[in-house]
Structure 1
């Protein structure tokens, strides 16, 4: 009998015996391992067929257990399961160890597409087989003409009463609709009252729904008292009332969109002829399909037989689908032109979506009616209800999204006006707040579009929004979006506050505040730029971390890159460090007149790496900070100059000094010049003597950059007084040296006349 038992059974039994050797339990337990040695658990064994395993079986069992214990992961799983089994209460039955579950194999995109095609293809084939069986093999029902005629009379009476009642109720409120339209259009002419027209349109729609509810209430009363005590007639009338409610609600939506009788309540720019055209045809289309599928087909199925009802369903939907396709493609160009015209009159945000919809609206409409035809074949009643429900929800979603987006778009175009005090103290605050508010509103508008797409997919059962938000990836995505928005909002607030404080210090004295010094302006500008870089870097790093990017390698890479760059850019580092120290030492500022090396000019720009100097010739020089060893700044504290004037050696020294003092005194009588001079001039007297001239000197201390103005004015006065006193300037003399035989000839030449 040993050969009758497979070796696998012996292997499994010996593994169980080995486990029982290590574990002592009060009762016999069946334990299964989590590895290949326990592919199937044997809870009950036939003890009569159990045979003593051979030596080879025992060795195989020992080897299997050794393999399990040798692997760390499998050994840990075995220990955990054995502990859980030992901790199981005795009243819960025999503890078991579950074998490990294999990870599902990751499928490729092609495999998933094949599986999906096979699944939906099989479902469609099943539906066609079921339709075929209903047409051919459904049981026939006896036809009773008397009962049928009685039911038709009661049904027709209720239908005529409902249509007449609802038509009369709507006629009674026509004057109210006209007044609402006129009032809404009058208010709409004032752009500040743009909400009045949508409110009147929605109000008219609500009145239409209330009239429908009143008609249904009266129709239910008629049905309760006019069914001839027949449950079949009551059932048929109930079908009609349900269809009447659904179809008339859809027609009310059509009247809301096209409003054929009241152009003032028409939201779109559409002429009366086109509005009446589409309202009439879509109403007939929905009415025939609705009453056909929801009333006629169920009554025929119940009163005649299922085959005729199924064929009638196919015939009605085929005819209506063909008619709908003809309407769509025959009006394709007209509707495309109308949508383009609407886009041209709309705001830029809506114009983009309207133009995109104008390109493929006919394909969407065609697919809509084809899907309705296919659904109605398999499930006549529920398919129409689903399609109408999805259509109504889609229209409501699009309408709400358009309303919210319109409000956001109008808010984007508005400007927040701060108080005069805030604008005076923080000149850039209003612009920066408006920029951030516009950015947040644009982000809200984008999220509105995204939410609209998800809601539309959910309305057509193409996407489970609730599952996605609560269990699926949507929960994490929404959480990340909230975090990102909060981070951006805090960063924007922080940057706005700090930058506004800095710019308030940089503001000019146009509002009556003192002008900040050039050093202050330079340092604050550099600090603002550095602050922008720091806030932007930190914000980007946090955002990358929030969306799941591991920023540790980025930080490590940035450190390594910085180390590599530092070796290759020592001059750049030297420029930055030198520039920082020059700024903190207040060496120069924007607008200063400086001399750097051989360049003299005005400082126009100062960055963290270089300084820009403009010469009086117009040349612009960019000088790195590290190349500046010494420089001269002409606007630090005071300006000064020393004026030397050469006089002919034959002139009287005292008379020359008196003329110079008279020139200086006349110069200082000018109040403008006197305001530029600090203290009193210093007369040094005679300071130089040559063979032809002597020099007199006077020195001035002036305001910064005013020394040239004073010097030029002084030169004018000195010339005036020297000329008036007859003081001559030294004249140039030339001495001719000759040798040889020409000396006698040269001596005979006449002498040059003396200078006058």
Structure 2
């Protein structure tokens, strides 16, 4: 037998390992890379809004059918950035999921080509995944809660929220942790899985609620009329007029105590402007009460009568 014949027979015998299997492995890897590239491009297109032209104000395609809580009257660049952040975060999750699925598929396919029995690997992976999921259930809960929070647009960066233990302005929103800075400047790190309820004071509109204490002996009709006229004058001037969405409404007597009567007034405002509107209204109404002789409960009445100021 010649050397040529021996080499030919050896090649025929091992052709599956030398030619066919490597080609199959390369094809699986190429297919996975192509699918990953195509799917990532599709996700990027769905989660990014056009950068130029009139269409730049449009929502990312992924969010067009999701709940949008910001009305057209209050939409701004901040709202657009919040929407873009939601889309980017959701897109990141989708791309990571695609990459993991394709990686697992390639590994299992290569093992099958090499003749390895993948059934034990699948069973072991299921057991390991169950153990990891049980051990990291808090992490999984945080992650799932973060995904649903983004999909439902419960809050975003710049919103003032009450998360139970922490309340303040949202500084960052992640899939696992939300950071909130309170009025004292403390930065709170809140795990998404621990958030039981969310009170958002920055969605759609807000209400400036002003409680006005007057003396028991005061003329309530006069007090309500003076307060309403002062409030209308304030909301008719800038900068308050840019923040309000309606006329002041006097609701009347809210509470009666042995020392005073409390009147309540409300004004519908843009999100995050209710507190500044409340302060301006209180100052103007207290000055108007002093000018028109509306009696205030002691010691507040003595204080204002002594210095002639509404502060």
Q: TM-score, normalised by structure 1?
A: 0.31
Shift of 1:596: 0.9
Shift of 1:666: 0.9
Looking at structure 2, the residues matched to 567 and 539 of structure 1 have their Cα atoms a distance apart, in angstroms, of: 23
8 A Cα contact 2:218 2:296, kept in partner: no
Greater RCO structure (CA 8 Å; 6+ sep): 2
Q: 2:274 aligns with which of 690, 698, 707?
A: 707
Looking at structure 2, the residues matched to 583 and 500 of structure 1 have their Cα atoms a distance apart, in angstroms, of: 17
Q: 1:546 aligns with which of 110, 113, 122?
A: 110
Question: Given the superposition, is the C-alpha separation of residues 484 and 574 from structure 1 closer, same or farther in structure 2, using an over 3 Å criterion?
Answer: closer
What are the residue-to-residue correspondences of 1:74-113 with 2, within 5 Å? Answer: none
1:487 lines up with 2:31 in the alignment: yes
Aligned twin of 2:264: 697
**CA deviation map 1:229-261 (0-9, x unaligned):** xxxxxxxxxxxxxxxxxxxxxxxxxxxxxxxxx
**CA deviation map 1:611-657 (0-9, x unaligned):** 33333444333323332222211123321132122234454444433
Corresponding residue SS for 1:731:
coil
8 A Cα contact 1:526 1:607, kept in partner: no
Question: Given the superposition, is the C-alpha separation of residues 493 and 627 from structure 1 closer, same or farther in structure 2, using an over 3 Å criterion?
Answer: closer
Aligned twin of 1:528: 92
Aligned twin of 1:431: none
Aligned twin of 2:57: 514
8 A Cα contact 1:502 1:528, kept in partner: no
1:678 lines up with 2:245 in the alignment: yes
Shift of 1:563: 2.0
8 A Cα contact 1:596 1:631, kept in partner: yes
Q: 2:47 aligns with which of 474, 494, 503?
A: 503
Greater fraction of residues in strand: 2
**CA deviation map 1:265-318 (0-9, x unaligned):** xxxxxxxxxxxxxxxxxxxxxxxxxxxxxxxxxxxxxxxxxxxxxxxxxxxxxx
8 A Cα contact 1:508 1:515, kept in partner: no
Q: 2:229 aligns with which of 645, 662, 665?
A: 662
What are the residue-to-residue correspondences of 1:125-524 with 2, within 5 Å? Answer: 475=19, 479=23, 482-483=26-27, 486-487=30-31, 489-505=33-49, 512-514=55-57, 516=59, 518=82, 521-522=85-86
Looking at structure 2, the residues matched to 672 and 508 of structure 1 have their Cα atoms a distance apart, in angstroms, of: 32
Question: Given the superposition, is the C-alpha separation of residues 640 and 549 from structure 1 closer, same or farther in structure 2, using an over 3 Å criterion?
Answer: farther
Aligned twin of 1:171: none
Looking at structure 2, the residues matched to 591 and 729 of structure 1 have their Cα atoms a distance apart, in angstroms, of: 38
Shift of 1:538: 1.5
What are the residue-to-residue correspondences of 1:577-616 with 2, within 5 Å? Answer: 577-616=144-183
Q: Structure 2: 5+ residue runs without aligned partners?
A: 1-6, 60-67, 69-81, 307-311
Question: Given the superposition, is the C-alpha separation of residues 629 and 687 from structure 1 closer, same or farther in structure 2, using an over 3 Å criterion?
Answer: closer
Corresponding residue SS for 2:241:
helix
8 A Cα contact 2:36 2:102, kept in partner: no
Shift of 1:661: 2.2
Question: Given the superposition, is the C-alpha separation of residues 532 and 692 from structure 1 closer, same or farther in structure 2, using an over 3 Å criterion?
Answer: closer
Corresponding residue SS for 2:246:
strand
Q: 1:642 aligns with which of 199, 202, 209?
A: 209
Q: Structure 1: 5+ residue runs without aligned partners?
A: 1-463, 734-754
Looking at structure 2, the residues matched to 534 and 690 of structure 1 have their Cα atoms a distance apart, in angstroms, of: 64
Question: Given the superposition, is the C-alpha separation of residues 693 and 567 from structure 1 closer, same or farther in structure 2, using an over 3 Å criterion?
Answer: closer
Q: TM-score, normalised by structure 2?
A: 0.68
Corresponding residue SS for 1:677:
coil
